[in-house]
Amino acid sequence: MRTIDWNDESASIVMIDQTLLPMEYKVIECKTFASLCEAIKSLRVRGAPALGAAGAYGIALAATLSSASNMDALTKDLQIAAKTIKATRPTAVNLAWGVDRTMDAISDAFDLDGIKDVVLSEAKNIADEDVATNKKLGKHGAKLLEDGDTVMTHCNAGKMACVDWGTALGVIRSAIEAGKEIKVISCETRPLNQGGRITTWELMQDNIDVTLITDSMSGHVMSKGMVDKVIVGADRITGDAVFNKIGTYTHSVLAREHEIPFFVAAPISTFDPNNWEDTVTIEERDANELRFFKDVQIAPVDVKVYNPAFDATPMENVTAVITEKGVFYPPFLLDELLA
């Protein structure tokens, strides 16, 4: 199934609970608005494109659940829902993009039922477009990989981070689909191990050769000539930086030192022309994500913790950005790219 989808019969959002992978594959249902917000905050659904769909479906769910008796009241309910959804993950720009695009569709409605129909239709369109976008992105990026390449990746930018196919892993899938032999090195991606838990699981499901390493091994494997390319996803791209899962910046510095191409794969919807690195709020997560792994204590419970979810990779460390519109090499002007 898709990572996130809409169930017409129950009028609810269904998703794969990523917090349980790889130990358990479980599809959960969000029938309440609060359950969706919890799923976003707790990373049951995660990844920039998937969050775009989650935000859009969240507006559709809020519309379905609203008891408003007129268009103005329903619109006000949805405006409150939109603000609430956006606040759950402030750094990932696709979440707000999905919410805003769905809210903009309200202008096409003429009555109460029309609003509910149009926001659900727009949310479904966003989900469908994500799959098509990733396939296009993957084909552009596949041309950058050579037969026999070993690609290092960080976090999870596969189908679990999208509605389907993936961005960084979508490039790898597209290259393999084109007949190239590609191997993958996946960094575990502490503190929540999305690389170890999710990326490796995804690739093994598709019988793609993958080797797991700790985050701190990336410089070692690069120095040993074990990495030909690095491809990561992105949660936000400003004119001067790429925001991605914490640890990405470190890999970019090491890749530059070892003269290894460092690619970012992301849809156009992840670009943010209105901000720069210094104006973006980086989400800080619960300290217990570092003090515990699952329910096992791995650090003193009273130790001070700094736990940012993302870091910023300067554009000078990026070889190219792979999008559905093609491959772009910095420096580039975001306004021209988004035109």
Active site residues: 235
Q: 317 among the known binding-site residues?
A: no
The values of phi and psi at residue 338, to 5°, are -85, -5
**What residue spans of the chain are helical by DSSP H?**
33-41, 48-65, 71-88, 93-104, 112-142, 168-177, 194, 200-205, 218-223, 248-257, 288-291, 334-338
Task: Give 5's contacts (C-beta < 8 A, 6+ positions apart).
Answer: 13, 14, 15, 127, 163
Buried b (16+ CB within 10 A) or exposed e, 58-72: bbbbbbbebebeebe
Q: 255 among the known binding-site residues?
A: no
Angle, vertex CA 146, rays to CA 321 and CA 255, nearest 5: 50
Angle, vertex CA 130, rays to CA 118 and CA 59, nearest 5: 35
HSE-CB for 197 with a 13 A CA cutoff: 21
Could you tell me if 257 and 223 are in contact, meaning their C-beta atoms sit under 8 angstroms apart?
Answer: no
* Cα 195 from Cα 244, distance rounded (Å): 13
Q: 297 among the known binding-site residues?
A: no
Q: 7 among the known binding-site residues?
A: no
Q: Give SS3 for 15.
A: strand
* Cα 62 from Cα 83, distance rounded (Å): 12
DSSP 103-146: HHGGGG--SHHHHHHHHHHHHHHHHHHHHHHHHHHHHHHHTTPP
For residue 308, what is the DSSP state? B
* Cα 219 from Cα 211, distance rounded (Å): 15
* Cα 95 from Cα 87, distance rounded (Å): 9
Q: 52 among the known binding-site residues?
A: no
Q: 47 among the known binding-site residues?
A: yes
Q: 194 among the known binding-site residues?
A: yes
Q: Give SS3 for 13.
A: strand
Q: Please enumerate, by residue number, every residue annotated as part of a binding site for substrate.
A: 46-48, 89, 194, 244-245
Q: Please enumerate, by residue number, every residue annotated as part of a binding site.
A: 46-48, 89, 194, 244-245
